[in-house]
Amino acid sequence: MKILLATKNRGKISEINRIFSDLPVEFVGLDTFEEVPEVIEDGKTFHDNALKKAMTYYNIASIPALAEDSGLEVEALQGAPGIYSARYAGENATDSENNRKLLQALSGLPPEKRRARFVSVLCLILDGKPFFFEGEVRGRILEKPEGESGFGYDPLFVPEGYEHSFGVLGEEIKNRISHRAMALKKLRHFLNDHIK
């Protein structure tokens, strides 16, 4: 079964193909299609955005389509940055600008008031119907970045049960316990049951 993955990032495409290599499924990227519109993520939730992307590309490609929306939710900020995680400090903000804004927003708060979670919502459109797979990892936000690994808010986020941020823990641990890893695990069970 071919599934269109809503990305042009070749690294992401090959990574997900590696993860699912034991199943009769092949993920192809948006770069395999001539004209692909940019989908404006204007939904109110991660589910809205993932659904909009997946349905748009399903309608173009006429094959199953998979899209994701994900972000960081901080308790003390009533769930912000949430769906605006990638553009928290502005439309074309860098990771370090977003991190700086988050640290300013949490300035002076003690560790117990810095609880947060990363959320990932995958939406698979199969035969025109949406199926959602969610994952989350809980943790807390540090007072300053640590480590060079990962991207986004990884240098600020310490997952529960660990002493260091994803920026220090590295890809191997992150890929095992992350919000995306949890959502992909659920997708794997689903595909295992649905493609024989």
Active site residues: 69
Cα–Cα distance for residue pair 60/57, rounded to 1 Å: 5
Q: b/e map of 183-196 (b: 16 or more CB within 10 Å)? A: bbeebbeebeeeee
Alpha-carbon span 63 to 45, nearest angstrom: 25
Strand bridging mode 2-5 / 65-74: parallel
114 close to 100: Cβ distance less than 8 angstroms: no
Q: DSSP letters of 58-72? A: HHHHSS-EEEEEEEE
**Sequence-separated contacts (24+) of 169-177 with Cβ below 8 Å:** 174/149, 174/150, 177/137
Q: Which of 56, 88, 57, 55 is nearest to 74 (CA)?
A: 88
Q: In the structure encoding, which two tokens stand for residue 105, read together?
A: 């927003």
Answer yes or no: are the C-beta atoms of 14 and 38 closer than 8 Å. Answer: no
